[in-house]
Amino acid sequence: MSNIPSRRNFIKQTSVLGSIALTTSSFNIITTVNPPSGPTIGHGDYKYKVDREWSKIDVAKFPVNNCHEMVMDRQHRLILLTDHPKNNILIYDKSGKYIDSWTLNFPGGHGLTLKDEGGEEYLYITDAGSGKVVKTDLKGRMVMEIQHPCQSGVYPENGIFHPTETAIAPNGDIYIADGYGDQFVLRYNAQGEFISKFGGSSFLQPDKFKQVHGVAIDDRDTDNITLLCSARIKNEFKRFSLDGEYIESYYIPGAFVSRPVIHDKMLYAGVCFGMTEDNYQMQLNRGFVTILDQNNVVVSNPGGSKPRYKNGKLKLVLQDQPIFKHCHDVCIDNDENLYVCQWNADKVYPYKLIRV
């Protein structure tokens, strides 16, 4: 008998998980002792040596609650977003040394996107708790704030808006994932003017989401640039046209995926929650990383089980080694090393996975 949960059974079993809390206080987590540092994880050509002590930042000066997302700028500086209001942004060099920091005083800093616009780089930041979406320069100076959709008439007055991510199209259009709210992807132009929205909440309809946690522009095919969205509770990535037309889904059974990250021809994602072989419901402290090639085939699961296909379908993937608790994001540097940000993981800084 196949050990892959059917979509219908999986949806039925996970229906109680349609809403994930914005703060760690909503979970009663039993913490475990971290395993020794330094194992090699991953599969095939995508294997990595784990460095848990990569971050050299002084925890007394720059405490974190959750390390949500990370990007690398043109200077190869690593920019980390946290939800600690004293230091939303921490900036590292690749050796893990502190370079700079600043804050917007966001208690729910969640999504971080970097975009080069005419030779200057900007950050798009979402605060899932307050419902704010802002654009800043790399020094933290505010350039633009997008009006809350309940205030602008995009949502009804009683709408729920908790944005988790942004993606910026080549023409400057801004896509906002309302991953902890009403499950829409909202599209704005570069000036922050509303254009359209698509998606919404449904377990069964393929063009809708349960926790549209992340979005990313997929420009690997320059003749057909699309939008990739994570439907985390469905264990899926969903592809849409830039106009919001549904195209297809990629099911990764067992993987509650965070945002898709495109690097060269590959797709990387943190898996925030997992399953067990005897329980197909979402399990805490079961995170790992998943890597897909340009044909949307899973080729490696660092910290997770080796990907196996049968009759063209991916079998259940599970945490294989307890390296991670909840992988929230993956950043890839110019040497193909990975930096893994974690949510609800005892306030750890990112781990570095050194490509071997």
275/281 Cα distance (integer angstroms)? 6
* Regions in the chain scoring below 70 on pLDDT: 1-37
Residue 37: the pLDDT is: 56
Cβ(36)–Cβ(351) under 8 Å?
no
Full-model pTM: 0.91
- pLDDT tens, 233-276? 999 999 999 999 999 999 999 999 999 999 999 999 999 999 99
Buried b (16+ CB within 10 A) or exposed e, 269-301: bbbbbbbeeeebebbebbbbbbbbeeeeebbbb
- pLDDT tens, 185-212? 999 999 999 999 999 999 999 999 999 9
Residue 31: the pLDDT is: 38
Residue 38: the pLDDT is: 84
Tell how strand 279-283 and strand 288-292 pair up.
unpaired
Q: What class does CATH assign to 7-355?
A: mainly beta
3-state DSSP helix/strand/coil % of the chain, to nearest 5: 5, 40, 50
353/356 Cα distance (integer angstroms)? 9
Inter-CA distances, 147 with 128, 132, 188, 199, 243, Å = 14, 8, 10, 20, 21
Phi, psi of 47 (to 5 degrees): -115, 150
Helices assigned H by DSSP within the chain: 7-14, 149-152
- Residues 6 or more apart in contact with residue 129 via CB below 8 angstroms: 22, 23, 83, 106, 107, 108, 162
Token readout for 236 is 């899926």
- CA torsion angle 7 164 175 229 (round to 10): -20
Domain borders along the chain are 7-355
- pLDDT tens, 18-47? 444 454 433 333 333 344 458 999 999 999
